[in-house]
A and B are shown apart, each in its own frame.
Chain A
Amino acid sequence: MTFEPAGRSLSDFTVELDVYSGPYEWLLALILKDELEIFEVPLRELVGSYLGSREQGAATGLERDIDFAGSAAALILLKSRTLSPALDAEAEGGEDEALSPEELAERLTEYLKIRRAAERLREIFASNAGHYPSAHTLPPKPGRLRIKPDRVTLAARQTFSRLIEPPVRHLGPITVTLQELAGMIRAALARGPVSYENLTRDMDRLNRAVTFAAALSLAQEGGLTLAQTEPLGPLTLKPSA
């Protein structure tokens, strides 16, 4: 739904309705932006208000009437569509099948109850209007009395939760330290360069991995140099010069 531009001829037309008070052009804008429900706007009052504002013999009278008639017609169309949701459903693919009289009666009786509840609610609101609480508002933190247990639980969980550690049971017990293997490498290097393959020949998978970590650590400290001629090729440990 779009409105034709109302033109500036209506810029001075203001309306006074229960649901809105102000320039007519803003009313159209609010309806288009869904800030105001067209269902709430009494079109008869709107037209009456416009007729009351007309000036006989004004120079722009005809232009103004045309602009208003165009926008009012669009409002009527929009309101009629809003009041007839079945038309929209049909346009969108007709998911809703026609209701049987029994189903329609069921819906209407449910709506009637809500309508009566709304009327009662209006009376309750009216009879309780005019109560103004203290204007003093507490700062939210600190000193807030109300503590929501679920939020405390969530905060604690986030604070104390840790990533799940990967399972290491398959690795077996660790029986050697990085320092021990570093000492073993230094002793081997005292006799000259040694290949990683020969150094770890009699070791299990875990010890080989720790030996590699120890060699990297020594290389970083400058205790040895690592030589590998090609990717994934033989690795040679050499004493530093």
Chain B
Amino acid sequence: MTDVERGQPSPEHLLEAVLLVSAGPINRADLSSATGLSTQEMQTALSALAERYAPETSGIVLRSVAGGYQLSTNPNCSGAVERFRAEARPAPLSGAAHEVLSCALYLGPLTRGAVSRVRGVNSDAVVRSLIERQLLAEVGTDQDAPGSPALLGVTDEFLAATGTSSLDDFPSLESLVTQEELSRVRDRLAPGATPPDAGSVPP
């Protein structure tokens, strides 16, 4: 006789129930604490849930993001969800916002001033917008700098939005640019190099 037949919830049912009521990812320790399941029981149950909530077979998917697990709607069903909620999908981030997030992701934690220095333009407005969207957060202060400015870092919401479990899931910064590209930049700035055509710069 199974647990279900005896009226007892199975490990999958326990995990499923806890995951359903959480708006954010839950890590294994919290799942174990809430359900009382052992590591082995959880692993088996999570595998079963991942199969049950696969994007091909369900409107709900089990995601492994931000160091935890989260039930969310299948992106294929997002249109219906958005119509039901009577709200549009959040506006995509601007190019500047992606650059600021990249700074925090690869060079962070870093100050607002450091972000602006890397980008060459003041980035305070973009930082403020990203903090409001909870993709960026103040994670500490730079004690060595005058005034101890806040240090910015990416958040768990950022990891969830990018479908990643940790910062290690992102490719290295060096791998994103080729040596040819870097050489071209250096060649353009070499003494005697021809400046780029001013007309080709977009306004």
Could you tell me which A residues sit within 8 Å of B by CB distance?
A: 18-19, 34-37, 39-40, 42-44, 82-83, 85, 101, 104-105, 107-122, 124-138, 145-146
Contacts and interface: CB of A to CB of B under 8 A. Distances in A.
Contact of B176 (A83, A116, A127): A116
Contact of B92 (A104, A115, A125): A125
| Dominant secondary structure of chain B at its interface with chain A | helix
Interface of B: 19-24, 26, 30, 33-34, 61, 63, 70-73, 75-76, 78, 81, 89, 92-96, 98-99, 101-103, 105-107, 118-126, 128, 160-164, 171, 173-174, 176-177, 181-182, 185-186, 189-191, 202-203
A16 to B, nearest CB: 13
Residue with the highest number of chain B CB atoms closer than 10 Å, among A40, A83, A114, A116:
A114
8 contacts: A39-B96, A82-B122, A117-B105, A122-B98, A133-B23, A134-B19, A134-B71, A137-B23
A119 B89 CA distance: 20
A234 B26 CA distance: 76
Nearest to B99: A118
Contact of A113 (B121, B176, B191): B176
B23 to A, nearest CB: 5
B61 A135 contact: no
B49 to A, nearest CB: 14
Contacts of A136: 20-23
A138 B189 contact: no
Given A109-B186, A136-B20, A131 B119 contact: no
A44 B174 CA distance: 34
Contacts of B202: 44
Given A18-B94, A125-B92, A105 B120 contact: no
Residue with the highest number of chain B CB atoms closer than 10 Å, among A18, A36, A113, A135:
A113
A220 B102 CA distance: 73
A19 B94 contact: yes
Given A18-B94, A114-B106, A145-B30, 7 more contacts: A101-B191, A108-B185, A113-B106, A117-B173, A131-B61, A133-B22, A134-B23
Contact of B181 (A44, A112, A137): A112
Given A101-B191, A109-B186, A118-B99, A34 B124 contact: yes
Contacts of A116: 176-177
A131 B92 contact: no
A105 B185 contact: yes
Given A121-B98, A125-B93, A145-B30, A111 B162 contact: no
A126 B98 CA distance: 12
Nearest to A122: B98
A112 B185 contact: yes
B98 A118 contact: yes
Contacts of B99: 114-115, 118
B120 A111 contact: yes
Given A113-B177, A114-B99, A133 B24 contact: yes
A135 B63 CA distance: 16
A104 B71 CA distance: 47
A45 to B, nearest CB: 10
Contact of A114 (B61, B119, B174): B119
A123 to B, nearest CB: 10
A145 B76 CA distance: 32
A126 B163 contact: no
Contacts of A112: 177, 181-182, 185
